[in-house]
Amino acid sequence: MKELAAQLGSDCSFFVEDKPMLGIGRGEQLSALALNLKGYYLVLVKPEIHVSTAEAYGGVKPKLPDLSISEILAFPVDNWKDYLVNDFEESVFKRYPPIEAIKKELYEQGAVYAAMSGSGSSVFGIFQSKTDLSSRFAGAQYWSGYLN
């Protein structure tokens, strides 16, 4: 099933199993990740902005982090903000300030971690308790719920 999903897109095999996975390469090389976000509340906001994958990759300047993603994800979620960075954000935020504004708003509303999802334009926030922010993101697609 993972091989078939990878034919649809490099990172599609990520969605075959319902558990945390760490993807490397183009996202097709997956390994299980010891991560438990049960009880946290997720808010996902997708503005009516399209960021093409080619555009996002054209502007990204990958940086070698001091710690690996698996090391960072072993920290409490409250600490991710200081270490876990999506390298796409810098160039995408410069071109599309409303996407950056969503991330800032999520933090202002109490997210313990927020980031752009992949190459954009969706942004997610992780909260310690249920939070209804739907009225703050009028005109955007909005989803929220507890993580299992």
Instruction: Calculate the dihedral angle through the C-alpha atoms of 113, 103, 116, 127, rounding to the nearest 10 degrees.
Output: 30
Residue type, 106: L
Please tell me the predicted confidence (pLDDT) of residue 23. 81
Rounded to 10 degrees, what is the CA torsion of 65, 42, 28, 49? Answer: -90
CA 48/CA 18 separation, integer angstroms:
28
Same domain, 68 and 13: no
pTM of the entire predicted model: 0.89
CATH code assigned at 104:
3.30.70.890
Close Cβ partners of 62 (under 8 Å, ≥ 6 residues apart)? 87
Q: Are residues 68 and 8 in the same domain?
A: no
Q: Is 45 found in the same domain as 29?
A: no
Residue 31 has a pLDDT of 87
Q: Are residues 83 and 139 in the same domain?
A: yes
pLDDT in tens, the chain (148 residues): 877 877 787 777 778 888 888 888 777 788 888 899 999 999 999 999 999 989 998 999 888 889 999 999 999 999 999 999 999 999 999 999 999 999 999 999 999 999 999 888 999 999 999 999 999 999 999 999 999 8
What is the reported pLDDT for 141? Answer: 96
Expressed as residue numbers, the domain containing 12 is 1-33
Q: Are 44 and 122 in contact (CB under 8 A)?
A: yes
